Structure 1
Amino acid sequence: MSTSPAQDGSLGHGLLLLELDGAGSHPAAWRVSRTAPTSVLDPEHLRGAVLAAESAGFHAATFSDPGLQDPALPDPDHPDRDAAARLNALQRAAFASPVTRTLALIPEVDTVYTEPFHLSTQLASLDYVSGARAGWLVAASSSAADAAAVGRDTVRGERLSGEAADSIEVSRRLWDSWEDDAVIRDVPTGRYLDVDKLHYIDVENGSYSVKGPSIIPRPPQGQLPVLAPAGLLTPEAVAAGATDALLVSAPTPELLPAELAATRAGLAAGGSGPALIAELDVVLDSRGQTATERLAGLNRHTGWQSPRARFVGTAAELTELLTDVLAWADGVRLHPAVLETDLEELSRLVLPELRRRGLLAPNTPDATFREQLGLTRPASRYATATTAAGAEN
């Protein structure tokens, strides 16, 4: 990525990502949604949400993971309590894959309490199902409840960052453990695989050991694009290529451009860096209600605790903000307070204007997620090693 604003960088135009989180990102969204609370987890609801996002012109959809201990639906015995209605992120992304053609599908998957061997094979399978439109949103839980659910000690601090980086590296090595032409289907000799093109990865650390190779052939993209929150991984891990995109937030929307500029400058100091994607909660004026009124109504049930910058205002004001942010970011991930309501305004007023201004990348049917990010398809590290060894002999 360039050290100058994103519009002078390698992507040229910005990407818009949409978080598809139950009825919306606000915990009380289900109370005002036009979808019945018990229907939020229905397949038809997810189908409608991803098709609406694709039709609106979003480039990617992300799926938050509910966590091991989070309730899936509001508790009927305690109607005063709110809960996010979510299912397993990988399963939702896999379900959405055959429904869509242009939308990249990016599930959030924990790196600490999920074995990297299983994680990498599930993500590789998603890449096949989606036709090379899969990504991976890295999460690293520090929850004591999550740790207890799998019988592990709680991981925090530097160890949390280290385990996240280790899990990414193991997954990348497993994706490379099959060379691209390992499957030969040689009928005369009865060989399905060229075993010389499958490789052990031999990774050991304090939490696990992985011999490999993977049980899934190399993903269609070679390596799935990896997205991680800024600050999760050490600068050394980022510089070494652990992540392909960083999610950047700020206390307020007005501070986002400065935060993006500072992050980009820090990456430039260490050489090349990943794409930068800004994080933004969104509440818009809609159907005769101001955004401020809508948010106040939701907050009367449950306050919205979020680490992200929050925009509350009109579609026109959001368009201007996104214009400023996309001068520094390679993309923006929007978190609508109430999915149905805010997505309707985004689709009708915001995305068409951003596209008219030439700020958004085109939506290309069947394009890979790597292509959307401006990334080339990498060769397997083990194929390079094999070729070099053969040349020496």
Structure 2
Amino acid sequence: MLFATEVDAPGVAALERVVLDAERAGYAFVTFPDTPRRPGIEAGVRAAYLARRTTRIGLAPTLHATTTEPFHLATQLASLDHASLGRAGWVVGATTAAEDLATVGRTGAGDGEVADVVEVARRLWDSWEDDAIIRDVATGRFLDPRKVHHVDFEGSGFSVVGPLITPRPPQGQVVVIGSDELTAVLDVALDVALVRATDVAEIATRVAAARAAGAALVFADVPASFDPSLVEGLVDGVHFHGGPPPVITASPHGATLRETLGLPRPLNRFAVTS
């Protein structure tokens, strides 16, 4: 079984210490909670800081789709994947609290907006084909323009032409993580669905629903005091929150977060059709 944990340590030194301890223990990835009104360093920057201070563990900041400009969000996550050499994840935040939206001058979020932001991020990560950069000294060409694509996406309240300003992430697609409620209510496609519950019967019901909705993996999202053996065989992994991560013995890491999780590297949608 795979293990992940939320890390919310005060201060940069404590944050680094906890994440390195989690890496040595064999955790697959760590998540960084965040809200638009949280003081201090935002989650994406915390993850970026740790990208070159860690070597194996996945780094998944919470970035809110409702308060972050979609193009910049996709760029930030692609850059994190490059900096970490393929260990980036994204915990999809979907706050609609009036106080949170007001931080970026918004008064409401449209129906389908979160799903649209996830979809356009996936398209932007594919907007560069894997072999777009050719570095042809003889002709003076750095890239092949035929392999860099506009995404021309019209979403709920926004549009994105693209392409991304960052080459395709090493993983092809950053690992998209989020609450199973995003799939049930907002029709968001997730690589890893987190089921926040402690009742085993409820977890079982929601795990089945998340799998039916297309989540590749499902983790129980439980307090740090929860006994993971209660859900062994029921879920693909356990994500701990709300306390120091328990001491565990877990499987070795892969070269990328996708490899650690057993997820394939996705084909590029534009390369397939070009």
How do 1:34-73 and structure 2 match up within 5 A? 40-41=10-11, 43-65=12-34, 67-70=35-38, 72=39
What are the Cα deviations for residues 108-133 of structure 1, in whole angstroms up to 9, with x where unaligned? 11001111100000000000111101
> 2:43 maps to what in 1?
89
CA separation in 1, counterparts of 2:7 and 2:90?
15
Aligned to 2:6: 19
2:114 aligns to what? 164
> Residues of 2 paired with 1:244 and 1:373: CA distance?
10
Q: Distance in 1 between matches of 2:93 and 2:158?
A: 18
Give the partner amino acid of 1:68.
Answer: P
Amino acid at match of 2:37: Q
Mapped to 2, the partners of 1:231 and 1:329 lie a distance apart of 16
Match of 2:236 among 309, 313, 330: 330
Q: 1:137: Cα distance to partner? A: 0.5
Tell me, in whole angstroms, the C-alpha distance in 1 between the residues paired with 2:89 and 2:265. 14
Cα distance, 1:183 vs structure 2: 0.3
Q: C-alpha separation between the residues in 2 aligned to 1:91 and 1:225?
A: 17
Percent of pairs with identical residues: 43
Structure 1: tracts of 5 or more residues without a match: 1-13, 23-39, 73-85, 283-310, 312-317, 387-393
Show the counterpart of 1:182. Answer: 132
> Counting helix residues as a fraction of each chain, which structure ranks higher?
1
SS in 1 for 2:142: strand
- Give the superposition deviation at 1:245: 1.1
- Could you tell me which residue of structure 2 aligns to residue 98 of structure 1? 52
SS across alignment from 2:187: helix
- Cα deviation, 1:206-240, whole Å, max 9, x if unaligned, reads 411100000000000000110110112347835xx
- Runs of 5+ unmatched residues, structure 2: none
1:37-61 CA distance string (max 9 Å, x none)? xxx32x3222212111112222211
Cα deviation 1:164-202 (Å, max 9, x = unaligned): 110000000000000000000011110001000011110
Per the TM alignment, residue 383 of structure 1 is displaced from its structure 2 partner at its CA by 0.5
Q: Which runs of 4+ in 1 moved over 6 A?
A: none
Deviation at 1:205, TM superposition (A): 2.6
CA distance in structure 1 between the partners assigned to 2:223 and 2:71 by the alignment:
33
- Residue number among 335, 346, 371 corresponding to 2:259 in the alignment: 371
Quote the Cα distance in structure 2 between the aligned partners of 1:137 and 1:268.
18
Instruction: Verify the 8 A CA contact 1:243 1:274 in the aligned structure 2.
Output: yes
Q: Is residue 223 from structure 1 mapped to residue 112 from structure 2 by the alignment?
A: no
**Secondary structure of the corresponding residue to residue 265 of structure 2:** coil
Corresponding position of 2:105: 151
How does the TM-score come out when normalised to structure 2? 0.93
- Higher-Rg structure is 1
Q: How many residues align?
A: 274
Question: Secondary structure of 2:183's match?
Answer: coil
Q: How many angstroms apart in 2 are the aligned matches of 1:236 and 1:143?
A: 16
Task: Say whether the 8 Å CA contact 1:278–1:333 is kept in structure 2.
Answer: yes
Alpha-carbon RMSD across the aligned residues, in angstroms, is 1.9
**Which has a greater percent of strand?**
2
1:279 to 1:264, Cα distance in 2 relative to 1, 3 A: closer
Does 1:142 find its partner at 2:96? yes
1: CA distance, partners of 2:169 / 2:5: 24
Counterparts of 1:112 and 1:237, CA distance in 2: 15
- Contact (CA 8 Å) 1:120, 1:171: kept in 2 or not? yes
Secondary structure class of the residue paired with 1:222: coil
Q: Which amino acid aligns with 2:5?
A: L
1:113–1:336 Cα change, 3 Å: closer
Match of 2:220 in 1: 278
Task: Rate the CA distance shift 1:275–1:327 in 2: closer, same or farther, 3 A.
Answer: same
